[in-house]
Amino acid sequence: MRKNPVNSKLAGPKTPSSLGSPGGCLHPENAGNSAHSDELSDPIRSHLHPQTDSGVRRAFLDGNFARQYVASQPKEYEIWDTVLIGFGMRIQPNGRSCWFVRKRHRGSNRRVTLGRCCDVDALAARREARRILLDVALDGLPRQEKVSASPVFIDFADEFWRDYARHWKPSTQHRNRSAINGQILPYFAEFRLSEISRTDIVRWRDACAHVAEARFNRAVPVLASMLKYAEQLGLRPKGKNPCRGIPRFKRKLLERYLSPVEYVRLVRRLDEVAEQSPLEVAAVRLLIFTGARLNEICALQWDWVQPPRLVLPDSKTGAKVIVLNRQASEVLAQIPLRSGTSYVFPRSRGEGFLDLNNWWRKFRRTCALPDVRLHDLRHSFASVAVREGLPLATIGGLLGHALPETTARYAHLADQTIADAAARVASHLAAALGIEP
């Protein structure tokens, strides 16, 4: 039996239409049925595959089929191609027909119209349908490759540090390195960079609740910067930073101020250990008399000491000048200059400057101040200035605040000073008026 000339050109397995039916047509539903001639009177039924239980109609769709074997029905219907899955023809009740292709893209079905059958050749429509289906199939490949090639977070962290951290100040580098090593990597080290989601951030936050809330608050902006950099490198989709909008833990500001009695106890104990720890004691005294930040004193270099001031080329708020009072100048004058280092307070071993925190944690217990941090010496300096009636703007200048809002946190300390002043005025008035206090 002679092969169908149309199907003989197609690659792939033979279709039922290649077994002797007219070009572009398929076997009738029941080839051996005596009613074959009756079925041929219905062009749709006689040239389609037998309908499945779902009522899907199939045929090899070519120009002959479109011209000869399509009839309108009361409702719109579709005929699917038997060779190219997804390619079909839609017939409307008015008799108009068009080619279309159904594609499944990123989880949803979509039908693309290729043109009316009277305007677009069947072969051209088939080629366009094959191209669309091929594009859809290939579209997923880069995504799959991207996910599988996504680096592990711990490897990306090294790249981030090399490329990004060099733009930070040394103090910021130290603080953020602690956040990465102490908080971020222990949780996210083995995650694929592209797979970190908002759910993962929330779970990390929950794990830090009541345990490391302050450390989480410091670490989450660092992680946000890391994921933003990953977006810039194309390792994560843009605008999908899972850290955005994650609430930080509400933390009560720790405000510890030394009382006059505690100041006396602290200074007395410093005198007792001055011979054993001269640099540590000198550093604490400078913190007391200047109200400077811890790193501004511990990282101080001799080139920055220009009496009667300290000229810092950089600090938390940029370049800064600290005015030295008489007591602070006397402390600096007693510190010996050590060869081989530019630091005023160098480490006893190795390079770098003094780590005062470790020494302070042990020392503060010996003077009954177990809850006092070194930063509280700065708060206490500000509280004394407020009690002395200095304007907040002046206090902000002494502390090196860049914003007046930062100094405003000490405003409430003036309430007691005002209350005491009001009480003194009232006492004088009462005495003048002969009223018993």
> How large is the C-alpha radius of gyration of the chain?
41
Please state which of the four CATH numbers 3.30.70.1230, 1.10.1040.10, 3.30.160.390, 3.40.50.2300 is assigned to the domain occupying 7-148. 3.30.160.390
Query: Where does the pLDDT of residue 367 fall: very low under 50, low under 70, confident under 90, or very high at 90 and above?
Result: very high
Rounded distance, CA 180 to CA 168, Å?
14
| 30 has a pLDDT exceeding 90 | no
- Strand, helix or coil for residue 215: helix
Beta strands in 188-304 (DSSP E): none
Q: Which of 44, 45, 59, 60 is nearest to 8 (CA)?
A: 60
Region of 107 on the Ramachandran plot (φ > 0 left; ψ -120 to 50 alpha; else beta): left
Q: Which CATH superfamily is domain 260-422 in?
A: Intergrase catalytic core (1.10.443.10)
Rounded distance, CA 86 to CA 186, Å?
49
Q: Do domains 7-148 and 260-422 have the same CATH topology?
A: no
Confirm if 152 and 190 have CB atoms less than 8 A apart: yes
Domain boundaries defined on the chain = 7-148, 153-232, 260-422
Q: Which of 164, 219, 162 is nearest to 188 (CA)?
A: 219
| 34 has a pLDDT exceeding 80 | no
DSSP letter string, 354-423: --HHHHHHHHHHHTT-TT--HHHHHHHHHHHHHHTT--HHHHHHHHT-SSHHHHGGGGGGHHHHHHHHHH
- Per-residue model confidence (pLDDT) at position 410: 66
Mean pLDDT of the chain: 79
Q: Span 226-235, mean pLDDT?
A: 92
- What are the two backbone dihedrals, phi and then psi, of residue 80, each rounded to the nearest 5 degrees? -100, 145
